[in-house]
Amino acid sequence: MWFMLIIATFTFLISLAIMILTSTLAKKTIMDREKNTPYECGFDPKGSARLPFSLRFFLIAVIFLIFDVEITLLLPIAPVMNLTNMFSWFFTVMFFLVILLLGLYYEWFQGALEWSK
117, part of any domain: no
19, part of any domain: yes
In this prediction, residue 38 carries a pLDDT of 63
Q: How far apart are CA 77 and CA 73, in angstroms?
A: 8
9, part of any domain: yes
On whether both 31 and 67 belong to a single domain, the answer is: no
Question: For the purposes of burial, counting CB atoms within 10 Å of the CB of 75, is it exposed (0-12), middle (13-18) or buried (19 or more)?
Answer: exposed
| 52-100 tens-digit pLDDT | 777 778 888 888 888 888 888 888 888 888 888 888 888 988 998 899 8
- Domain of 14 in residue numbering reads as 2-36
| 7-59 tens-digit pLDDT | 999 999 999 999 999 888 877 666 666 666 666 566 666 666 667 777 778 88
pTM (predicted TM-score): 0.48
